[in-house]
Structure 1
Amino acid sequence: MRLTLIIYSLTYGGAERVMSIMANYWAAKGWQITILTFDDNKIPQFDLDSRVLYTPLGIASKSPNAIIGIYNNLNRIGTLRNAIINSKPDVVISFMSKINAITLLTTRWLNIPVVISERSNPIKSYLGGAWKQLRQQTYPFADRIVFQTKIARDCFPLELQNNSCIIPNMVVLPPIEKQSSDKVLRERSLVAMGRFVPEKGFDLLLQAFAQLNNRYPEWTLTILGDGKLRPELEYLRNQLGLSDRVYFPGMVKNNYDFLQQAEIFVMSSRFEGFPNALCEAMASGLPVISTDCPSGPREIIRDGIDGILVPNEDVSALAAAMERLISDEEQRKSLAVRAPEIIERFSVEKIMGMWEEVLAEVITDFSRMEKPTKNLTP
């Protein structure tokens, strides 16, 4: 099998991590895997199997106005089209809304089956009017649409839902053998992680933690990640009097070093797609607290069994749940014991089996259609 996988980049992010896992899994089976990215980063954030052909196309430049935007998109389509043709795929798989739309335009006349995947909440994620319209016009071209949750799928018209399936993210067993012996967290630590963007709700987390400041002075909060909101979050932390209690170590090489040493994981997101960070924390055996945001956490956490769900964007409820676990070691242990069951519920083998079923169906359906022989000349 020859597959070409397309995404904006392979830098820090959940969708990027999932695509790298998929590529490595299939490469290990002897499949010929090509990853095409829009950025020009020669070294991906995630480790790739040496058999994966990784090609950054360098077509991610921003457009200062509409005219240049049209030119850039035409250039992207031409460059991407040639790269897809050269990779000679049996199926193309694309991640993320904008990349999906461009990929569907690019492959429109290539007679190659295309599977696209939405990786966030379609209602909450801001695309802009032009991109929403382009998504509406191009998504019917897809041979199959993969959603991570039912909530995300239900946001789309019925005709697209009928040509879709739901495949959650896989959960990878923490690399225990690679754990560092170095101490990366102080004792009594809560941990969170993600991009420093509004949807992750780290401002809400800081406000909630501030409510516990005086009652639990021995506890600290570490938020892994980085992004455009770092200055605002640092300012809020200092304004709340938490400069010696909250740490922002940035993007780290191995999240598991921190997860293994933490006491509690907290996810404060306003919305999600299917949060990898939450899954990784549970796989590491951490008791977790998450906002019941759209979408993902409710499909992952079994409330009261392996984690706690709190109302979305409710600072007081988030603070109460944090205090509940901080003050009750037995409940922390009870949730932690059940949390690693997520590894079996969303195992790599199970999730990749679902992807392979989709590929087999798409190829079969495509071969039955009366289409001219593939013409892969530029």
Structure 2
Amino acid sequence: MLTKRVGLYLVSYSGGGAERELIYLANEFSRRGYAVDLLVHRDVGPLRSLVSKNVNSIIIDKTYLADISVLIRYMRQAKPLFILSTLHMPNWVLAIAKMLSFTKTTIFWRVVISLSNSKKNNKGFISTLLPICYPLLSRNVGKITCVSKGVADDMITNFSIKPESLNVMYNPAYTEQIHKLGIEVVEHPWFGKGYKTIVSLGRLSIQKDYKTLIHAFKFVYDVNINARLFILGEGPLREDLLSLISSLGLSEVVSLHGFELNPYKYLAKADLFVLSSIFEGFGNVLVEALALNIPVVSTDCPSGPAEILENGKWGKLVPPSDIKRLSFAILNTLESHQSKDTLVRATEFSVQAVVDKYIELVNEES
């Protein structure tokens, strides 16, 4: 009996959630006995170490034009059950390769963010091409996987995508490995030393709106001098955020810690996790905080947080960019004692469940 083969097409091994999710899926398919090929556009980034030794990495490391020829050859020779891609350029390149391959290979896209918000908050040619390429190239796609209902609704309403082309499938945000990573030792003095440590995690970008979080934290600190804010992530706004922290007199109590391959050892020891984004596609880190039973405060941004938290059942939701409401929610949550077993909710977003759904999709397409 021939081994079933699947392909996953990835931009790089960089530290983003979309890349991490595809690696989780690759590893799970491999664990189930599939032959898995991870086709990688650029051989850079810290997540390479997360890839299972049983996953075959095909490094292209050239231009996206070169990727098209590699993908065509791969479809014709390897004949995978399907190829799955994520993020704008890989999605479009895969669809073009599928069209030019003249094969029956099934391809799936993952759309991990609201396209309208992506277009509004980004500049350059990719932003310009969003309303052109998604409707045009989606004709070659078996199914478009949207990581939340909000993302799907946006594609239907604003990008002329037919509802029957879409499939809502939440991110594979929970993996049991997070519990092992969470127990690793942390040397930082703010954890386990009597402080009320608030953790946030994500790229230092406009999307994550750390300026609102830092302003809200100023109110929190004025009420509770034991509060500390610990932000994990890197990005283009580092200097701007450092200037803001300094201007508010918070340099000793707010840390822009930078990127960590294992942020979960910090998250697991936090008193509170806060997501302050103005938009999301899903919000993986909310699931990760729930898995570690850490109280959560999140903006009710489009889209994902309200779906994950079931409209406030599993954590407080506040309007985006609302400093006052965010600060009150943080203070109230720090002062309360969480009694819910939030891991129960997190397991509903497991990598195993997502792989099951992709197998169902393949069976429907065949």
TM over 0.5: yes
* 1:16-35 correspondence to structure 2 within 5 Å: 16-35=19-38
For residues 135-284 of structure 1, the aligned pairs below 5 Å read 135-157=134-156, 160-170=162-172, 171-173=174-176, 175-178=178-181, 179-184=183-188, 186=190, 187-284=195-292
Q: For residue 121 of structure 1, what is the amino acid of its counterpart?
A: S
Name the structure 1 match of 2:89: 98
Aligned partners of 1:54, 1:46: CA distance in 2, in Å? 12
Give 1:37 deviation, angstroms: 1.8
Preserved contact between residue 37 and residue 57 of structure 2 (Cα < 8 Å): yes
TM-superposed CA distance for 1:270, in Å, is 0.6
Separation of aligned partners in 1, 2:220 and 2:53: 48
Does structure 1 conserve the Cα–Cα contact (< 8 Å) formed by 2:202 and 2:232?
Answer: yes
Q: Quote how far apart the aligned CAs of 1:303 are.
A: 4.2
State how far apart, in whole Å, the 2-side matches of 1:312 and 1:249 are.
24
Q: Quick one: which of 99, 119, 135 aligns to 2:112?
A: 119
Equivalent residue for 2:80? 89
Residues 131 and 77 from structure 1, CA distance in 2 versus in 1: closer, same or farther, beyond 3 angstroms?
farther
Matched, 1:53 2:56: yes
Aligned length: 346
Once the 2 structures are TM-superposed, how far is the Cα of residue 329 of structure 1 from its aligned partner? 3.1
Gaps of 5+ in 1: 61-72, 365-378
Q: Secondary structure at the match of 2:223?
A: coil
Residue pairs, 1:340-355, within 5 angstroms = 340-355=343-358
Question: For residues 225 and 77 of structure 1, what CA distance do their matches in structure 2 show?
Answer: 32
Partner residue, 1:107: 98
Which of 305, 312, 317 is equivalent to 2:320? 312
2:167 maps to a residue whose letter is C
How far residue 87 of structure 1 moved from its aligned partner, in angstroms, is 3.9
Q: Secondary structure, in 3 states, of the residue corresponding to 2:154?
A: coil
Q: Which amino acid in structure 1 is aligned with residue 244 of structure 2?
A: L
Offset at 1:300? 0.4
1:283 aligned partner, one-letter code: A
Tell me: CA distance 1:94–1:156, structure 2 relative to 1, closer, same or farther (3 Å).
Answer: same
Query: Distance in 2 between the 1:180 and 1:40 partners?
Result: 28
Note if contact 1:172-1:343 (Cα within 8 Å) is conserved in structure 2.
no
Q: In structure 2, what is the Cα distance between the partners aligned to 1:202 and 1:190? A: 13
In the TM superposition, residue 42 of structure 1 has moved relative to its aligned partner by 7.8
* Cα-Cα RMSD: 1.9
Structure 2 residue aligned with 1:132: 131
Deviations 1:69-116 (A, max 9, x none): xxxx54442344335545432211111122111110011132111111
Moved over 6 A (4+): none
| One-letter amino acid matched to 2:39 | L
2: distance between equivalents of 1:306 and 1:153? 23
What is the CA distance between 1:43 and its match in structure 2? 6.3
Cα distance 1:270–1:43, how it changes in 2: closer, same or farther (>3 A)?
closer
| TM-score (norm. length: structure 2) | 0.89
Conserved in 1, the CA contact under 8 Å of 2:110 and 2:144?
Answer: yes
| Worse-superposed segment, 165-174 or 14-23 | 165-174
Q: Bigger CA drift: 167-176 or 224-233? A: 167-176
Equivalent position of 1:374 in the other structure: none
In structure 2, stretches of 5+ residues that fail to align are: 120-125
**Distance apart, 1:302 and its partner CA:** 3.0
Paired amino acid for 1:153: A
Deviation at 1:353, TM superposition (A): 1.2
**Cα distance, 1:124–1:262 mapped onto 2, change above 3 Å:** same
In structure 2, the partner of 1:66 is: none
